[in-house]
Amino acid sequence: MSLVVHPRDALFAAGERAPLLPVADHYAGVEARMRKALALQGDLADRALFDVTLDLEDGAVVGAEAEQLALVAELIASPANRFNRVGVRLHPYLHPSFPQEVAGLLGHAEAAARLAFLMVPKVADAAELAAACAHIETAARAAGVKAPPVHALVETHGALHEVHALAALPAVESLSFGLMDFVSAHRGAIRSEGMRLQGQFSHPLIVRAKLAIAAACHAHGKTPSHSVITEFKDREAIAEAARRAAQELGYLRMWSIHPNQIAPIVEAFAPDPAEIDDAISILLAAQAQQWAPIAHKGLLHDRASFRYFWHVLERAERTGQALPAEVRTAFFDPAA
């Protein structure tokens, strides 16, 4: 009897698997909005179709840092965190609040065990991010917990210049593009239109930065996360931005700053239904042939293209697309 080999084992070498993150990352920093985001995450599906990042930095109230930290730890440890897909944006590494925030989160045993990631903003360069990662790992050891993955915001000239070094850091799971601070760092040379939909996809300096981040992440097996879009009431604009981020610039994830943005982002990052059908047919046939080359619709496929179609199928599953029962049983059941 032939051994049925899962595509993760047949198609990828050890250490070659990139982290599988939800395609949307929703930010909230005010208590009512944080609780609303967690409720929506739990109600939308039987798994997390988007991450929630609770904000200790720019989205939070100034002057109430200790109270915000306590609230965030409480929410992460609470039943509202249904899927353990809640992260936290810290203050920058050199900010006085950074060590207290790391210690407070990792010193809270239940919150630390359920923390999805820590986001480090306004990274100056690779040395600074490496120091932040080391600080987090040291604090985790002191608390007797596992260090969470680190996400980082690329929004300075220094961070962009060293983006490959940032992505190469072992603790780093994802890099995000910080549009607003990046535009501001150009001292008016990029006009304010660069912060809006058309400008951020047309200005050469912005597009160059986005491509550099995406390329570095793919080179090192990390997840590139696209910047915000401020037109939060315009569903068509949100959908266009997400589609262009995914299809033109190679991003696998995108920020949301308003609940209205979550569904259009998830929908835009989902694969085309026809491609999902092709992926199902090709992968089931390939698995039946022990991953030997097969023909499909007059085209020859081998493990190189199988890898591509496996990524398509994984993205379909992560975005909540309806998949046949036999596909779920073969590829996505816990025992698979």
Strands 115-120 vs 172-177: parallel, antiparallel or unpaired: unpaired
Tokens of 28: 């909230």
> What CA–CA distances, in Å, run from 81 to 29, 131, 322?
15, 29, 24
Q: CA 220, 203, 240: angle at the middle one, nearest 5?
A: 75
138 strand-pairing partners: none
Under a CB-based contact definition with an 8 Å cutoff, are residues 324 and 280 in contact?
yes
- What is the Cα Rg of the chain in Å? 20
SS3 of 294, please?
strand
Q: Is 33 annotated as a binding residue?
A: no
Contacts for 38 with CB less than 8 Å, ≥ 6 apart: 52, 75, 80, 81, 82, 86
Q: Is 181 annotated as a binding residue?
A: yes
Contacts 24+ apart (CB under 8 A), 61-67: 61/29, 61/30, 65/91, 65/97, 65/100, 65/101, 66/100
Q: Which residues are annotated as a binding site?
A: 89, 155, 181
Q: Which residues are annotated as a binding site for Mg(2+)?
A: 155, 181
Q: Which residues are annotated as a binding site for substrate?
A: 89, 155
